Amino acid sequence: MPGFDFDLLVIGAGSGGVRAARIAASHGAKVAICEESRVGGTCVIRGCVPKKLLAYAAHFSEEFEDAAGFGWTVGERSFSWPALIAAKDKEIDRLNQVYLKLLSNSGVTLFESRGSFIDNHKVQVGDRVVSAERILIASGAHPWLPDIPGIEFAISSDEAFYLTDLPQRIVIIGGGYIACEFAGIFNGLGSEVTQLYRGDEVLRGFDHDVRRVLSAEMAGKGVNFAFERNINAISKHGNELHCELDDGKILIVDQVMYATGRVPNVRNLGLEHTEVEVHASGWIVVDEYSRTSVEHIWAVGDVTSRVNLTPVAIYEGHAFADTEFAGKNRPVSHEYIPSAVFSQPPVGSVGFSEHDAGTHFGDLDIYRSEFRPMKHTMTGRAEKSMMKLIVARDTQRVVGLHMVGTDAPEIVQGFAVAVKFGLTKAQFDETIGIHPTAAEELVTMRHPLAAG
C-alpha cells in the first residue's frame, strides 16, 4: 500500500508467525517478518520437537527390558547423552533451514533482528525503521522462574536441551505438561528424578481420572513425587545443589529444573508507544479474529495466552491471514481442541473434563475403562491404560474423551474429529472397532458408571 514499506509485518518467526506470513504472502500481500533468535520459535528450536525426540530416546530403556518377554535377548547396552544431544541439534538445524526456505520461497522478507514498536504503524527492526499497514504480534512466551535465593543455579526447559551431561539426580518443579514430560525423559534415561509440585496431583485442569492414573503410572516407573511442597532456596556446595524445602527438609541433587509456567513476551516490544491493550497478567487482549484494541494490529499464539499450543498458534495465524488478505471470514473457536502430554505413559485429551462438563451440560453419563495393554500380557509390566468418554445425558453428545496409555496422542487425534463435530454416543457405538487394538475400547464401552 502507498506510504507503507509492507502490507504486513510479523513480529516473531515462530510457528504461528511463519504460518501467517506465508499465507498472507500467498494471497498477494507484501510481507516481512522479524526475529531476533532462530526461525522456528519455541516449538521447533527448544520445545515440542526436541522434547519429543528426547522422549523417544527415553522409551528405549523399557523397550530393551520388554524385549525379553517376546523371546529377544538384548546384549550389552549403554547410553550417551552427548550423542543424543548432538543428534537432536542436527535435526533442529535441519528444521531451522526448512523454515528459512519456507519463508524465502513464499517471498517473505526476513529481518534477523528484534522488532519494537515506535508507533501504531512503525517498528524499529535492528538499525532501521519498518512501516506496515497491518502488524501481527507473534512473539510467544518464555519460561517463568520464581524470585528465590539461589535461583541462578536452576535451569528451565530451554537450558535442559543443552546440558553437557545427564544429571544423576534432578529435581523438577512443576506439575504441568513440561514438568511431567521432562520427568519421564530424565527418568527413562537413567536419572534419579524427584518431581516437586505445590498441588496434590499433576496436570491441573485435566480430567481427574487422567491426573490420578498418570500420577500412579509415573510413580510406578520410578519418578519420586513430592506433592504440596515448594523450594524456599537453592545453594551450591561443590558440584551439588541443596534445595531447602518449605517443610524444612534439604533435597540434594545435581540439577534443579523449573517448569512452572511461561510468561508472554511483551516486554521490550514497545507496546507503550501504541494503544494495544495488555491484560494485568501480561498477555495481549484480542477478539475472536485475533485483533487487538488497535484496529490494524493483531496478535496470535502464546503472547495472547488463550490456548498455548503450537497447532493453535498456527491455526490462529492462518485464520488471520485468510480473513485479512483473502476476504474470508475465519473467527477462531477454542472449543474442543485436542491436546497431548508426551509423558510416560502419554496422555491424549479432547473436550471437557468431567468436572467442567458437569458445569456446562448438567447431568452426564460417564464411560471409563482401565486395562492392561495387550503388549504387557507378555512383558509382565504392570502398566495400565485408561480411556474415558464423557457424554451429555440430555443430547447424548460425546463432550469429552480422555486417554492415558501407549499411543494416546495418535488415537485421540483421530477421535477429536468426532468430538469436535458433535457425534453422539450412539454413533460411537455404531462404529466397528479394529481388533485387536487399544483404540477399539472407545467404540465398545456400553455401560456407564453408576451416578456418583
pLDDT tens string 63-83: 999 999 999 999 999 999 999
Residue that has been written with the C-alpha cell 475400547 in this structure? 441
pTM of the model: 0.95
Residue 210 reports pLDDT greater than 70: yes
Tell me whether residue 435 is one of the annotated catalytic residues: yes
CA dist., res. 152 & res. 149, Å (int): 8
Give the mean pLDDT of 370-374: 95
Residue 353 reports pLDDT greater than 90: yes
- pLDDT at residue 322, rounded to an integer: 98
Give the mean pLDDT of 143-167: 97
Provide the 10 A C-beta neighbour count for residue 83: 10
**Percentage of the chain modeled with pLDDT above 70:** 99
Q: Which residues of 262-298 are buried (b: 16+ CB within 10 A; e: fewer)?
A: bbbbbeebbbeebebebeeeebbebeeebbbebeebb
Q: What is the pLDDT of residues 42-53, one digit of tens each?
A: 999 999 999 999
Residues 268 and 185: beta-carbon distance below 8 Å: no
Residue 400 reports pLDDT greater than 70: yes
pLDDT band at 3 (very low <50, low <70, confident <90, very high): confident
Active-site residue identified among 27, 142, 435, 447: 435
Beta strands 347-351; 398-404: pairing state = antiparallel
Residue 311 reports pLDDT greater than 80: yes
Residues 389 and 442: beta-carbon distance below 8 Å: yes
Residue 1 reports pLDDT greater than 80: no
Which amino acid is residue 413, in one-letter code? Q
Residue whose C-alpha is closest to residue 170's, from 144, 198, 199, 196:
196
pLDDT band at 451 (very low <50, low <70, confident <90, very high): low
- pLDDT at residue 450, rounded to an integer: 77
In a 13 Å sphere around the CA of 314, the CA atoms on its Cβ side amount to 10
Q: What is the pLDDT of residues 102-116, one digit of tens each?
A: 999 999 999 999 999
Residues near 420 by Cβ (< 8 Å), separated by ≥ 6? 336, 350
In a 13 Å sphere around the CA of 275, the CA atoms on its Cβ side amount to 5
* CATH numbers and ranges of domains, the chain: 6-142+263-325 (3.50.50.60), 151-260 (3.50.50.60), 339-443 (3.30.390.30)
Residue 426 reports pLDDT greater than 80: yes
Q: What is the pLDDT of residues 322-341, one digit of tens each?
A: 999 999 999 999 999 999 99
Residue 122 reports pLDDT greater than 50: yes
Give the mean pLDDT of 400-410: 97
Average pLDDT, the chain: 96
Residue that has been written with the C-alpha cell 464401552 in this structure? 445
Give the mean pLDDT of 119-137: 96
Give the mean pLDDT of 11-22: 97
Give the mean pLDDT of 243-266: 96
Beta strands 398-404; 250-253: pairing state = unpaired
Give the mean pLDDT of 169-182: 97
Provide the 10 A C-beta neighbour count for residue 30: 18
Phi and psi based region of residue 40 (left: phi greater than 0; alpha: psi -120 to 50; beta: remaining): left
